[in-house]
Structure 1
Amino acid sequence: MAIIQSLKDAVADNLNNGDVVAFEGFTHLIPHAAAHEAIRQGYRDLTLVRMTPDIVYDQMIGMGMAKKLIFSYAGNPGVGLLRRLRDAVENNWPNPVEIEEHSHAAMANAYEAGAAGLPCAVFRGYKGAGLKEVNSNIRSVVCPFTGEELAAVPSVRPDVTFIHAQKANRKGDVLIEGIVGIQKEAVLAAKKSVVTVEEIVDDFDDVHANACILPGWAVSAICEVPGGAHPSYAHGYYIRDNGAYLDWDKIATDREGFRNWMEQHVLNQTPEVFASRVSSLLEAGK
């Protein structure tokens, strides 16, 4: 059953050096605040998993936290490449990073297989694709019933998954509204999970029971972190901060500039300061 605690305590209680960890979100509800707390606590040798790693994974890689990345697309959405990821892959700075690239379909199926407790995912895909030539974890199996050749990849079963959502109630149930990517499966596939939310409420008034995406028994910890998805958006709460994504391309270009920005905006900020800063930005943008 989920417990309600501070983000600092939830990260410390659930994440360990060397873990396989997913910070999942698709277009919106990306758990930036949770990732920033992990950065502040200085974890190392992580295998970072995500369908669409963007600037928050660029930050984690640039801070030397990652030893491997399992993903299906990596980029600064609408802008271009991830400069810290590229520097790590091409120049081993600040440390080498192994990459395991998949298609979106493969990652989604791998999470679903993990949630079902299966060792691998089997699906139609990768026919004619070059990825299997550079990724030894993309293999083929033959259906014992039809003889059809199918693709197979290992299931994804994180040690811990972090996601962001709009609401949780005091029983620990989580309500996600708007676009839902693979967050539900990523939580169900994980040994432990932490959910940051915009607010904790007594109950989900006027919401059908079937709209509760995650029951409390599937969640390890709930943390109330308003603005916890910024600069991505939270449907019904705030819009996407497009300027932050454009700015990141310049910030991440230079190693020293990157480190200075991280010192100012992540390492020296608490979740409370983060929420206050985001609130000010949102008020200024109205």
Structure 2
Amino acid sequence: MTSDTPAGRRFRVFNRRRSAPSRARRRLGAAARMLAALALAGGIYTAFAPGAFAEDDTQLSTAAQEGQALFNNSCVTCHGLNAEGVEGRGPSLIGVGSASVEFQVGTGRMPMTRQEAQAEQKRPVFDETQTKQLGQYIQELGGGPQIPAGDLTDNVKTNPEALAKGGELFRLNCAQCHGNVGAGGALSSGKFAPSLHDATPSQIYGAMLTGPQNMPVFGDNELTPEQKTEIITYINTQIQNDKDPGGIFNLGGYGPATEGLAIFVVGITILVFTSLWIAGKS
């Protein structure tokens, strides 16, 4: 029947006519199955991640809206339209929280005037209210650590142990860079640890939470909120009020040992020269 005869040719034509619709149906069936599989996969993904395709209808608070306007006018050039950062200009601010913004902006370190080894403290561009608004916008945009409200120091009269504990924690965690008297010190690559003499409790707390510049981050797992408050109490009481444990000369802030050694060396020198002078006279 498949020979090159009139009957064979008619048989082949008949088979082609029968097979053409079946191939088309198979292709349509395969396409329908693929579309069904894609629709099923999309439905499962949407069910487990309902927010993936939902519109962002989150409404910013009034303070955050004010902060957004300030951000778009003063910060967007370096940190991007949605605070996602601009390569070579500024990092992303998603997740840094209001604590980082309040520290950097409140101390005048941001906005930076130019790119350098370290952002130096200067007169703030924004007042306290505007700084809070900027921080609130970044907080609502991406979350992150926040500086607690209220008093961040302990009352040493009602809790005298806070001062001793804070001093111990300061010497263990802070004195290596900021010095025993909080005067700051030089670091590598043109960077430095700033002085703590003019830092406010909220600025110190924010620095511990966020770790600006070369400073490590002291989260609540490293230093509890209570320990942070004790450190701030020590800085505020012992360092910022000039209550040096060494006495009036403040020789390194190590206590009476350095002043005793200085008095001994100076005193012995005076005695030696006095003895030589007496011997020369006689």
Pairwise TM-score range, normalised by the shorter structure: under 0.3
TM-score (ref. length: structure 1):
0.21
Larger strand proportion of the pair: 1
State the structure with bigger RCO (CA 8 A, min sep 6), 1 or 2: 1
TM-score (ref. length: structure 2):
0.21
Larger helix proportion of the pair: 2
